Amino acid sequence: MIMDNPKSTLLKQMLMRAWKERWTDCQWGINVKTVLTRGVSGDVYNLADCILQQAVVGSGANTLFLSYLKHSLCAHLISHAAVLKRIAKFEHLDRYHCMGELLDFLEQIIGGVTCRGKQEEGALTKAMLALVYWLMQIYEHALEVFSENNRALNSEQQLMVEKLGLVVEKLAQSQFLLGVVYVGKFEDPELYGLLVKKYELIDNLTAASGFVPPVVSQKNVTINDYLRKAALIDSDTLEMKEFDGRGIEPITYCLQPLIAIEILFNPNCDTQTYVAEFMSIQRL
């Protein structure tokens, strides 16, 4: 739930002060924690939206604000879902310098996207689906410009397509992110239907315009190939990673859903029952 209250206003004021005084990302992190209630995510106060709104005001994205956004992500003050969802709402696809900065930012954070340990990450599936649709919109826009400008793109447009390719490549090569998109397919079937139609339109535009899709990997895979992989995602295309027994992950990730399920099905259960169960797990 998003709250619009005095704290939201205070965060906006602090953001402007940080920009005027040119705070470092560490200074921003220290000061913003004085506003956020301990244990409460910045998503509650729409923090990611506030930062990104200021970051894309000019012709190019403000790198200082983007550094605040990245630091907030690293410090777990906001969720990846909130950031991806807000980026996917940016509609000014013809502001190529700004688009390039946003794509650079995405390339930096896309590999760290996770859904572990945060309640807000339950929205990650829909946010990731929206992001894929947004990436397709960027590519569609580039194809339309290519067709209208005598089959040519200027240097800014070409650079934007190249950066787009890097983001799409990272997304399509991650089994986790593809799995998130696959779950999103069922979470929001309406958006997924639009995504599939968008890919079909891109495929037709590519053929009609004569555009040669850029190769974005050493395996001669093009942007179109990666977009197709994301758009036509199916369980058969996902690889199940075998457990090798060597890398042991923290048990915390297993305990969090276990606690949630136990409380959901046994809300009146004595706390000591849970304590005894966790003690047994600890001994294992």
Q: Quick one: tokens of 12? A: 């906006």
Q: Record the pTM.
A: 0.82
CA distance 85 to 127: 5
Length, in residues, of the chain = 284
- CA separation for the pair 23, 4 (Å, rounded): 25
Helix, strand or coil, per DSSP, at residue 215: strand
Tens place of pLDDT for every residue, the chain, 284 residues? 455 567 888 988 999 999 999 999 899 989 998 888 777 788 888 899 999 999 998 778 889 999 999 999 988 889 899 999 999 999 999 999 999 999 999 999 998 887 765 565 678 999 999 999 999 999 999 999 998 888 888 899 999 999 999 999 999 988 889 989 998 999 999 999 999 999 999 999 999 888 888 887 767 889 999 999 999 887 666 665 655 556 656 666 667 777 777 777 887 878 888 788 878 877 76
270 alpha-carbon distance from chain centroid: 39
Instruction: Identify residue 125 by its one-letter amino acid code.
Output: T
**DSSP state, residue 222:** B
